[in-house]
Structure 1
Amino acid sequence: MQKTRGIHCHPDQIIITTGAVQALQLVTKLLLSSGMKVVVEDPSNYDLQRILTSTGAELYPVPVDEYGINTRLLPAGKDIGVVYVTPSHQFPIGGILPVQRRIELVKYAGNTGCYIIEDDYDSEFRYEGAPVSSLQELEPERVIYIGTFSKILFPALRIGYIVLPGTLAGKCRRIKRHSDFQTPYLEQLVLAGFIEKGYLERHISKMKKVYVKRRKKLIECLDKYFPGNYKICGKAAGLHLVADFTFKPSRGFYSNLKDK
C-alpha cells in the first residue's frame, strides 16, 4: 500500500475483513449512531447507503460531477459524523477527484471533526494520467481507508482490509471479533504468498493491458454505432465507464437492447 497508494501505517492499524462490505459494516458500527449525518456522493451505491444508515444515521447527499464529489457543496456545521467517498474512481459516474478537492475535503474533516471513509475499490487500474495520492496519505488521523482484493482477482475472494487511525483500531478490532471472529485463515495465507512472491503485482500489470484493450474496443463500438451522440465519463480508471447518450432514443431502442 505504501508503494502503490502512499499509505503509511503501523501493521496494528490494519484489520483484515471478509470483503469490503464487511469493512464498511464495521466502520459504520464504530462511528455512526442514530441521528448522526453521513455525507454521501449523489449518485452512489444504494446497497452501501443502506449499510451506512443501518445504525439510524441520516444521509446527506452531495452532488458529483465528472470529477467526483463537489466539495463546494459540503454542508456547513459540526453535525456531520462521516463523509463516505470513492475518490479514485467515483461510483457510478467514474470521476477521479482532483488534488485540490482532496485537500478541501481533508480540511473539511479537520474543521468539522468528522471522519472520511475512503473506499478505494478499484484504484489499481489507472489507465490515463499520473496516479493521485490517497486521502489517507494526506490526513491519516481523519481518513479510514477501505480496500479489497475481489476487484483485482475474483469476486469469490472475500478478503478486504481497513486502515484506521491508531486511536480507532483497537475498538474496531473488537467489533470485528464479535462479528465473525476472523476472516478465513487459509485464504489469507494463500493470498499472502501470492503477494510476497510478486504474483499480485504482475497480475495487476497483465490485467491493466487486458482492460485497456476491452475499453478501447468498447469505445470503438460506441463511435461506430453512436457517432457524436454520447459523452464518456470515467474512462481513465477502474473496471467500468459511463456513456451519457445525447440523442433521444426511438420507441424500439430499449426493446432492441433487451433482445441483445
Structure 2
Amino acid sequence: MGQEKQGWFERTLYSGALRRWKRAAKQAGETDLPELRRQRSMARRLKQHVDQLIQVADGRLALPLIGNQSFPRPVDADWAWRPELWCGPLPTPGMSSVESKSMLGKEVTLFHDCRHSELTLRQLRNMREADLAAYGLRMDVFKFDGSYLSLAVDLPESAGRGLIRKHLIRIETIVEMEKPLEIFARLNIKHGPNTEQVVRELPLNQEDIVVEFDLAYTKLNEKRIERIWLDLIFEGPQMNQVILRDLTFSRRKRAEL
C-alpha cells in the first residue's frame, strides 16, 4: 500500500512539473526578462540531468537482456537452450594462463595439451544491437605448443529427456576471429558404456553459423542416455583471438521419409 501511495505521489509531482514547464515554454515570448533568466538557469540545470539519464538509459536498454533465453529456433523444436555463459554474468568472468580442464562457469571447460599455457578466457558483455545473447566468450591464444585445443559445453539433463534417434540436434553460433582457422563441432552422447560421436565442421564463411547432427546414423540406445556434451575443436589456433558471440542449441524430429 505504501509503495502504491509513493508511486501515485511521484506521478502527481511529475505531472505538475511537466505542466509548469510546458506553460513556461508557451509563455517564454512574453515573460519578464528577470523571470525568464531565472527559468533559463533552472532549465539548463534540469536539462543536464535529463540528458545524462537519457544517455545512460539508451545505452543500457540497447544492450541484450541479461538472462535472455529467446532466440530463433525451428518452429517444430521440442527443446531449446542457451548456456549460462552467454546468458548472465559469471562469478569469475575470466582467467589467464588457463590450465587444461579449467572451467568457466558450470558448463564450459577448456581442454589442451600445452606444456606452457598462453591462453586466456574472458566473458564479455555483448554491445551490438544485433546480439540476442547478453554475453559472449573471448579466447586469446598466443604461443601454442600443443596438439589440440577444445571447449567442452555440457548440456543439461533436459537435452536427453525424450531424445530418440529421429531427432536432429541443432547448434547456432556467431564467431569472430582475428585470422581464419578451422573449428569443428563434435556432439557426444554417452549411453551406458558407449559414447556416440557426430562431427561437423562449422561453416565460418557465414555470419550466422548453423550445423545439425542427425542421430539417425548413430547406434544410440535411447533408454540409457546418461550425458550429452559438445566439443568445439580449434585447428591451428596460435596467435589468434576468437569470440563466440552466441551459442544456442535446439532439437527437432526429422521428417519422415
**Does TM, scored on the shorter chain, surpass 0.5?**
no
> Normalised by the size of structure 2, how large is the TM-score?
0.25
> Normalised by the size of structure 1, how large is the TM-score?
0.24
Max Rg structure = 2
Structure with greater helix percent:
1
Structure with greater strand percent:
2
